[in-house]
A and B are shown apart, each in its own frame.
Chain A
Amino acid sequence: MEKIKRIILLITFTIFITGCFDYKELNNITVISAIGIDYSDNLYTVTLEILDTRKNDDSNKKATSKILSFQDKVLSNCFNKAKLEMDRKPYYGHLDVLLLDQGTIKNKLKEVNDFFLRNSDIRNNFYIIGVNNSKSEDILKLNTNNEEIISYKIKSLIENNNFKSEFEEYIDRYIEDEKTAYIASLSLTSDNNLKIDGVYIMNNDKSVIDDANILKGYNVLHNSKPNESFTISYDNNTISSDIYESKVSYKIDKNSYIININIKGEISIDEGKFNYNNEKEYKKVTKLFKKDVEEKINNFIEEMKKEDVDLLGISNKYYYKYGKKNRNYFQDSKYKVNVNILLNKRGLIYEVNK
């Protein structure tokens, strides 16, 4: 009897403490692949891109989507309205992109962060993107002919870009120190094409950095495989190199910090006059590239100081090392950038001395 009691108790506990609260049959869900949030005139507009799951007789036809918009003064109410107006339960487990317009980023970013962080129905590994010169609703509605799924297009656009602002990484940075966070910025070009053209930084104005030279510096520091190119002029030749590997280390002292970067790249374009096999010339060219990279990184750091943001998380690094919080460390401290650059492989370049 005692044994039976135990078994019943075990089964009951198992059912009540675990269970099927998130049980949803496939035919009862609507898959949302993109959310756009716009904020203007004290009103949120939430636009959802819904993947079309109706049976189609034409098996060769591409998957399509439809767009629905909901408005309310409270963000969560927009999502509640969506729940009520759809015939099936909205499912956010396959959310690919979240678009925020400038109004939302500038005025309601905290509320948006809070909503997505607390909502257990929405997964956290999607891309968060700021719309620069348009409304997110307009971007999602570009898909007027139902010809393609716009979220797929935006997703592949950001995945091919150097600044992939994933929500998880963004929110980690935001919670730790708001100044270290960034969001990729998306623009609508005049011919209705989409383009990732920079990053939103979390300064007071939530402005966009779209200067390619400054972004180059950040890319080399931010990505271990930066896929960036630098161009120099040497002896009236234009030489370009592709950087494919970057290793960055920081040396943090009380009043100063040093950034050491080891870069590997290869010369990709020149005008055919540069002699690769000449060691002296090679060293000169390398030096010029080094100078160029250092300059771009310095420009980037100066820009960050000017905007009062810390995308590199230098102040955090100070805190990790010394255990003291000093949010102005990045701003106030002196710094030095050391670039060590290796272009091509030596054995392939130099002439053999016989």
Chain B
Amino acid sequence: MESINNFVITSLIYENKVIGPNIIDIDKDKIDNYLYNGFVIILDNNKIKTMEVKSNLIRSISSPETQQAINGPKDSFNENIENNLGLIKRRIKSEKLFVRNYSLGKDTKTITNIIYIDNLVDKKVLNKVINIIEKKKKENILDASRLIKIITESSNEKNVMPKIYQSERPDDTSNALLEGKLVILVDNSPYALIMPSYILDFVNPYIDEYNNSSTINFVKLIRYICLFITLFIPAFYIAIINYNKESIPTNLLVNFIIQRDIVPFPSIVEAIIMLIVIEILKESDIRFPSKYGSAISILGALVLGEAAVSAGLATPIMIIVISLSYIASLIFTNQDFNNALRHYRFTIIILSSIFGLYGILLGFLYLVINISTTTSLGNDYTIPIAPIYRSYFRRYIWKK
């Protein structure tokens, strides 16, 4: 509308002719095509003229929503690939920063950029990704998550653990490029895909760099503890109360027995019910309009709190254990990583309900074997622990 006002109507009133950028004459049969693509049609003395008046449907650069940093920059990617590329180029002004441009999808023609620093990037990974993209050029892609699926499936690395890190922060993405990683930007996606990514990239985010190293290590330690809590605490509780009660102090055990007296289900059923209720709440919280958020919170608190206990569906201690596990999982903002944790959590809980503490050990072995056999575009997923990668270790696991 703004362009029509500025160029068409104003000039017609004052000049009695249309003055504006890129006015071209067209044939009658092309009117439809131009109208559908954001052009205005002007009939001038039996001549058909057209001018682009397309409005820019892109939101402005806003602050990150899932990867907030108190001290770091507040810009984040949006749906415009040009903007996103610009945000990276503002940070890395090197002639070695290469951008490969692709148009993916037979129908979607989605603009996709592969970005890397030529002298730092792992050429094997680069060639692998380029090959995959070249092969799957015809597949329609609407956003980056579809591309993640294509790359993961094509590299035969099917596993619950995410292998490609999605970042909405340009600083995080630029840092990944400087570490020799590969970044893919997809038009209409407010995320950059960083690859290869390793398990600890999902545990310790880049934003730790903005804090004092001696104090941030404590936060890192808390994250490792949370990883342990979210995976093992419900299973540990079930194993302890069903098989190894002797390790609970007597007074606490008596309390637990009093609480469990009114619950008719076995503790494993109770735990699974509570976990499923929490997953439902989590899902509804994400999908539902945020204005209803408080209603859901109140309802959730009621369902999970007093009401569930009064109805004899769950014990207070089970609610504490499951909530603790859920709260600990909230520390990890990557949704794919959280979903992977949920997969392991359920597996370990079921094993612990059958085999007790031995089941937890089995679950732990399953987790370790699964993670240590996982690769991210051919690289070990457990880097920098196995194999040890000193500089990466010092930066992400325990800062010097």
Chain A residues close to B by CB (< 8 Å)? 14-15, 18-20, 22-27, 29, 31, 33, 51-56, 63, 91, 93-94, 96, 123
Contacts and interface: CB of A to CB of B under 8 A. Distances in A.
Interface in B245-266: 245-246, 250-251, 253-254, 256-258, 260-263, 266
B358 interface: yes
B354 A20 contact: yes
B261 A51 contact: no
A23 B250 CA distance: 19
Given A19-B355, A25-B267, A51-B254, A94 B245 contact: yes
Nearest to A23: B242
Contact of A123 (B246, B262, B354): B246
Interface string B21-46: 00000000000000000000000000
B245 A26 contact: yes
6 cross-chain pairs, A with B, having the tightest CB-CB distances, nearest first: A93-B246, A53-B257, A26-B260, A27-B260, A94-B250, A26-B257
Given A23-B242, A91-B245, A94-B245, A53 B261 contact: yes
A52 B354 CA distance: 29
B242 A24 contact: yes
B354 A54 contact: no
B261 A55 contact: yes
Given A53-B258, A55-B261, A94 B242 contact: no
Nearest to A64: B254
Nearest to B354: A20
Interface string B223-252: 000000000000000000111011000110
A230 B256 CA distance: 47
B356 interface: yes
Interface string B347-368: 0000000111010001000000
B245 A93 contact: yes
Contacts of B253: 26, 31, 94
A21 to B, nearest CB: 10
A91 B250 CA distance: 12
Contacts of B246: 93-94, 123
B254 A27 contact: no
Contact of A25 (B251, B254, B258, B260): B260
Contacts of A23: 242-243, 356
Contact of B250 (A20, A24, A33): A33
Given A29-B257, A54-B258, 8 more contacts: A15-B354, A24-B242, A24-B243, A25-B242, A25-B266, A26-B256, A27-B261, A51-B250
A96 B257 CA distance: 18
Nearest to B315: A26
Given A31-B254, A33-B250, A55 B243 contact: no
Q: Name the residue among B241, B253, B261, B267 with the largest chain A CB count within 10 angstroms.
A: B253
Nearest to A65: B254
Contacts of A18: 355, 358
Contacts of B242: 23-26
A123 B262 CA distance: 28
Contacts of B241: 26
A152 to B, nearest CB: 8
A261 to B, nearest CB: 37
Given A15-B354, A18-B355, A123-B246, A53 B254 contact: yes
A83 to B, nearest CB: 17
A19 B351 CA distance: 10
A14 B261 CA distance: 31
B260 A96 contact: no
A34 to B, nearest CB: 11
Nearest to B243: A22
B219 to A, nearest CB: 36
A22 B358 CA distance: 13
A53 B254 CA distance: 6
B355 A20 contact: yes
A11 to B, nearest CB: 11
B254 A63 contact: yes
B7 to A, nearest CB: 71
B262 A55 contact: yes
Q: Name the residue among B243, B245, B251, B256 with the largest chain A CB count within 10 angstroms.
A: B245
A29 B245 contact: yes
Contacts of A96: 250
23 contacts: A15-B354, A18-B355, A18-B358, A20-B243, A20-B356, A22-B243, A22-B356, A23-B243, A24-B242, A25-B266, A26-B245, A26-B257, A27-B257, A27-B260, A31-B253, A51-B254, A53-B254, A54-B261, A55-B258, A55-B262, A63-B251, A94-B245, A94-B253
